[in-house]
């Protein structure tokens, strides 16, 4: 009888949570939070928010807007020019940081690319599992890390914490035909990577003349 009562109570609580979150956008914290389940989250240019969150939808910070957290599960996170956020993450989607936008701490995806525009800045680490990382004149205060995505640094990009390409994880990931394909890492002639370039799987590394990099560590590195 106790088990039945507990199960019923848990089911009711879960149902109430889903109902509360299921509206297109619900606001809390004095209008500073925007949350959704099946819908995108949009902001007003220049406004300040706390948490911007959805499950099935995109999160979009318009120019000059700021937030503490921007996150989604199935969707993209986009920061327009001069937008700012404390941290940004998505599971199945891309992270786009436009020119001059900034992420104070970490930028994270699982199955999606990360694209940083001119004079964009991430204060912490930029990490993904199977997405590409592209820096176009951007600065990263931490490291770049991926397992199964290419890395491209262009137009004077600077990475303070090095680059790590992790070995593939066998526990449940489905990499398809790309599982054993070498990762491509390109560093332009005006770019700089401070710290180690640590490669735990096969990598094709192209460092253009003039680029500044740290120590390259890895047994399966092809220099081109």
Predicted pLDDT at 5 = 39
Predicted pLDDT at 180 = 74
Least confident of 11-20, 48-57, 77-86, 173-182: 11-20
Verdict on whether the full-model pTM lies above 0.85: no
Q: Give the C-alpha separation, 108 to 91, whole Å.
A: 8
Is pLDDT at 172 greater than 80 in this prediction? no
Which comes out higher in pLDDT, residue 193 or 5?
193
- pLDDT confidence band for 177 (50 / 70 / 90): low
Q: What percent of the chain has pLDDT over 70?
A: 82
Q: Give the C-alpha separation, 86 to 5, whole Å.
A: 42
pLDDT, average across residues 7-20: 36
For 202-223, the pLDDT digits (tens) are 999 999 999 999 999 999 999 9
Joined together, the tokens standing for residue 145 give: 């890390």
For 110-139, the pLDDT digits (tens) are 999 999 999 999 999 999 999 999 999 999
Give yes or no for a contact between 37 and 54, defined as CB atoms under 8 angstroms apart: yes
Q: Which of 126, 93, 97, 98 is nearest to 110 (CA)?
A: 93
Q: Give the C-alpha separation, 172 to 170, whole Å.
A: 6
- pLDDT confidence band for 224 (50 / 70 / 90): confident
Give yes or no for a contact between 53 and 72, defined as CB atoms under 8 angstroms apart: yes
- pLDDT confidence band for 29 (50 / 70 / 90): very low
Predicted pLDDT at 146 = 97
Predicted pLDDT at 168 = 83
Joined together, the tokens standing for residue 221 give: 């590195």
Joined together, the tokens standing for residue 180 give: 């054993």
Query: Which H helix or E strand runs over 107?
Result: strand 107-109
């Amino acid at each position: 009888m106790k088990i039945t009562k507990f199960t019923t109570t848990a089911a009711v609580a879960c149902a109430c949570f889903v109902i509360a979150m299921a509206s297109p956008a619900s606001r809390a914290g004095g209008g500073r939070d925007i949350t959704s389940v099946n819908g995108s989250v949009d902001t007003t240019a220049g406004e300040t928010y706390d948490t911007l969150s959805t499950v099935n939808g995109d999160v979009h910070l318009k120019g000059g807007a700021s937030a503490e957290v921007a996150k989604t599960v199935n969707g993209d996170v986009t920061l327009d020019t001069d937008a700012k956020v404390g941290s940004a993450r998505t599971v199945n989607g891309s992270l786009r940081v436009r020119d001059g936008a900034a992420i104070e701490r970490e930028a994270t995806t699982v199955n999606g690319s990360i694209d940083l525009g001119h004079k964009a800045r991430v204060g912490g680490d930029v990490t993904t599992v199977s997405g590409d990382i592209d820096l176009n004149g951007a600065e990263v205060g931490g490291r770049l890390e991926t397992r199964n995505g290419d890395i491209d640094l262009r137009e004077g990009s600077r990475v303070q914490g090095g680059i790590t390409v992790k070995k593939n994880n066998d526990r449940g990931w489905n990499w398809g035909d790309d599982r054993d394909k070498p990762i491509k890492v390109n560093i332009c002639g005006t770019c700089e990577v401070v710290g180690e370039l640590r490669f735990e799987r096969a990598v094709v590394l192209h460092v253009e003349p003039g680029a500044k990099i740290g120590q390259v560590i890895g047994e399966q590195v092809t220099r081109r």
